[in-house]
Structure 1
């Protein structure tokens, strides 16, 4: 397996990382997929973006 490469900025801090594709594929496979955790909403046709906007509007106040 190839090594992970770090790219450093002028200040000496890590700015970027180059990851070998085989390692990236393993990491990508473990990403969180929120559609797996929709619970009771899984089979419903719900516009979550709209629902979230409406919930947000309930909390926005001009105090």
Structure 2
């Protein structure tokens, strides 16, 4: 489907850069079924966390950390 490209940013990845991404995170009830798994670069996978939103959209909704 995506070949050697990240499912989120489209970056071409070497084998060592590939991570397995859960579309619905396991922490939110997602499974290890093939329909829920994609290849993603570490940066996109890590920045998405357990959000249901793609990394690029998630950044739009993040609030800056503020110390009061």
TM-score (norm 1): 0.22
Larger proportion of helix: 1
